[in-house]
C-alpha cells in the first residue's frame, strides 16, 4: 500500500535501491561471505594515521562536525593546487550527485549517461523528475563522443561520465576527456566521476581547471583511501557552481571523525602508494585466475576487474550465483552486452585463493544449466 501523502513524483518511483548490500544478502543467506570482493571496497584499509585520527576524534563525537569542512577543504585545495572556494566536501560522491541533480535538474529536464553506467546517478535523476537518456558503451568503454552528441541533441542539463568507468574498469586518456569537455554544449555540464582515478595510469586525468564552467569533477576517499564507510567525497568545479551547493546541502552531514580521518589519509602519501601497489598486484592475480579458467579479464584501471564469462548475461548471473553458493560475493554489470561479465573487486591473497578454488566449479555448473 502506498502512503497517499506522497507526491505524485514519489508515487511514480520504484521502491528500490541501486545496490543490494552484501549484508542484506548475508541475512537472506543465513551466513556470512568468506570473500567479500563485490562492492569495490578497499580491503587493504585506510592509512594507520587515518585510523588513529578517527579514534582520537571519537572522544569528541559529542560535537558536531565543522559544517564548512574547513581544514579538509583547505588541505584538498593545497593538494590539488586549486582555490578552496572551488571545492565542496560531501557525504561521498553519492551525496554530492544528489545535491548536484537537485541544483540543476527540474522535472522533465534531459540528462545523459551511458546505459549500464553507475546507477546511483540515474537514481538521483529519477528522484528529481529528470528525463534520463542513455547511450551504449563502445567496446566496453563509455563513449564520450556519443554522450556529448546525445546531450547536444537533447539539450541535456547534465552529462555523466566516469573515468575510469564502473562497472567495466576501462578508461580514456586525458586528451579524450579534454575533447569531451571542449564539446559540451552551451548551458550543459559534464559530470566527471573520478572515483577510481588514483588507481589509473598516469595521463588518465586531465589537469585541473576549476575555472572551466563546462565540467565538475568528483573524487572520493572511499576507494584508494580505504574509507568507504566514512562517506567522504568532494567536488572540484567553478566557484559559482560550488557556492550553489550551500543552498541545498546538509551542512551537518559530514561526520566529525570522518573529516579527521580524511585529513590524515590525505597527508599519508606512502600509504596511498602502498594501496595502489596492492591493487595492481590483485588485478594481475584476478586476470591470471580468469585465464587459468579459460575466461578473459577486461583490462582495468580501477580496484576491480570485469571478467568476461564467455556467454550472455544469463550465464554470468549463474556464475555469480554459484560463487555465492561457495560464500564468495561478487557483482556484475546490469546491462547487455556488459552483463556477460562478472565484476570482481581486488582482494587479499586469501580472498583470491578462495576465488581461484571456486571459479572453475562455479563456471562448470553455470554452463551445465544452459
Asked if 239 and 284 sit in the same domain, the reply is no
Verify that 256 and 275 share a domain, yes or no.
no
Q: Are residues 198 and 298 in the same domain?
A: no
Residue after which a domain boundary falls, among 267, 292, 327? 267
Beta carbons of 41 and 345 less than 8 angstroms apart: yes
Asked whether residue 12 is assigned to any structural domain, the reply reads no
Indicate if 148 and 40 belong to the same structural domain: no
User: Does residue 194 sit in the same domain as residue 281?
Assistant: no
Among candidate residues 267, 301, 331, the one where a domain is terminated = 267
- Looking at the fold, whether 56 and 176 belong to one and the same domain comes out as yes
Distance separating alpha carbons of residues 298 and 244, to the nearest angstrom: 39
Give the closest residue to 226 by CA, choosing from 118, 100, 98, 345.
345
What gap in Å lies between CA 351 and CA 345, rounded to an integer? 10
**Same-domain status, 30 and 101:** no
Q: Does a structural domain hold residue 87?
A: yes
Q: What would the grid cell of residue 290 be? A: 580468469
pLDDT at 2: 82
User: Does residue 108 lie within any of the structural domains?
Assistant: yes
CA 319 to chain centre: 23
Asked whether residue 1 is assigned to any structural domain, the reply reads no
For residue 255, being part of any structural domain is answered with yes
Q: How distant, in Å, are the alpha carbons of 82, 302, 311, 363, 364 from that of 295?
A: 44, 19, 10, 10, 12
Which residue among 267, 298, 327 closes a domain? 267
DSSP 4-19: TTS-HHHHHS-S--S-
CATH code assigned at 292: 3.90.1150.10
Cβ(237)–Cβ(215) below 8 Å: yes
Positions of the chain with pLDDT lower than 70, given as ranges: 1, 370
Within 13 Å and on the Cβ side, how many CA atoms surround 37? 32
pLDDT of residue 15: 85
Range of the domain at 260: 48-267
Same domain, 79 and 117: yes
Q: How far apart are CA 281 and CA 167, in angstroms?
A: 19
Could you tell me the three cell numbers for 356? 581461484
Q: How far, in Å, CA of 322 to CA of 308, rounded?
A: 16
Q: 41 and 65: one domain?
A: no
Q: What is the pLDDT of residue 370?
A: 65
Same domain? 198 vs 295 = no
Q: How many domains does the chain have?
A: 2
pLDDT of residue 20: 86
This prediction has a pTM of 0.97
Q: Does 204 share its domain with 351?
A: no
Pick the closest to residue 300 from 202, 165, 174, 113 (CA basis): 165
Shared-domain flag, residues 240 and 279: no
CATH of the domain at 211: 3.40.640.10
For residue 21, is it within any domain? Answer: yes
Exposure of 16 in the CB half-sphere (CA atoms within 13 A):
10
Locate 225 and state its grid cell: 583511501
Q: Residue 9 domain-assigned?
A: no
Determine, yes or no, domain membership for 295.
Answer: yes
Amino acid at each position: 500500500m502506498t502512503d497517499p501523502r506522497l507526491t505524485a513524483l514519489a508515487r511514480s518511483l520504484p521502491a528500490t535501491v541501486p545496490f543490494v548490500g552484501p549484508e542484506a544478502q548475508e541475512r537472506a543467506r543465513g551466513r556470512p561471505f568468506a570473500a567479500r570482493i563485490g562492492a569495490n571496497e578497499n580491503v587493504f584499509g585506510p592509512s594507520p594515521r587515518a585510523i588513529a585520527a578517527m579514534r582520537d576524534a571519537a572522544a569528541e563525537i559529542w560535537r558536531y562536525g565543522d559544517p564548512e569542512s574547513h581544514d579538509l577543504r583547505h588541505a584538498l585545495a593545497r593538494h590539488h593546487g586549486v582555490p578552496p572556494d572551488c571545492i565542496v566536501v560531501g557525504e561521498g560522491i553519492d551525496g554530492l550527485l544528489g545535491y548536484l541533480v537537485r541544483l540543476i535538474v527540474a522535472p522533465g529536464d534531459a540528462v545523459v549517461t551511458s546505459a549500464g553506467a553507475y546507477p546511483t546517478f540515474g537514481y538521483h535523476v529519477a528522484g528529481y523528475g529528470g528525463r534520463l537518456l542513455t547511450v551504449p558503451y563502445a567496446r566496453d568503454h563509455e563513449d564520450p563522443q556519443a554522450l556529448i552528441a546525445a546531450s547536444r541533441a537533447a539539450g541535456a542539463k547534465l552529462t555523466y561520465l566516469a573515468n575510469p568507468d564502473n562497472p567495466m574498469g576501462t578508461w580514456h586518456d586525458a586528451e579524450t576527456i579534454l575533447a569531451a569537455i571542449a564539446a559540451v554544449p552551451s548551458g550543459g555540464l559534464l559530470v566527471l566521476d573520478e572515483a577510481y582515478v588514483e588507481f589509473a595510469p598516469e595521463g588518465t586525468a586531465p589537469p585541473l581547471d576549476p575555472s572551466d564552467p563546462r565540467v565538475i569533477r568528483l573524487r572520493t576517499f572511499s576507494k584508494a583511501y580505504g574509507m568507504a564507510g566514512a562517506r567522504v567525497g568532494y567536488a572540484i568545479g567553478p566557484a559559482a557552481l560550488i557556492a550553489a551547493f550551500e543552498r541545498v546541502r546538509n551542512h551537518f552531514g559530514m561526520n566529525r571523525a570522518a573529516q579527521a580521518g580524511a585529513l590524515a589519509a590525505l597527508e599519508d602519501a606512502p600509504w596511498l602508494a602502498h594501496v595502489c601497489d596492492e591493487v595492481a598486484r590483485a588485478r594481475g592475480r584476478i586476470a591470471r585466475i580468469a585465464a587459468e579458467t579459460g575466461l578473459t579479464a577486461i583490462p582495468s584501471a580501477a580496484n576491480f576487474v570485469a571478467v568476461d564469462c564467455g556467454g550472455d548475461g544469463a550465464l554470468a548471473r549463474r556464475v555469480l550465483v554459484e560463487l555465492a553458493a561457495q560464500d564468495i560475493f561478487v557483482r556484475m554489470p546490469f546491462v547487455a552486452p556488459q552483463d556477460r561479465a562478472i565484476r570482481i573487486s581486488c582482494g587479499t591473497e586469501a580472498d583470491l585463493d578462495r576465488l581461484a578454488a571456486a571459479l572453475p566449479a562455479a563456471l562448470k555448473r553455470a554452463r551445465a544449466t544452459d
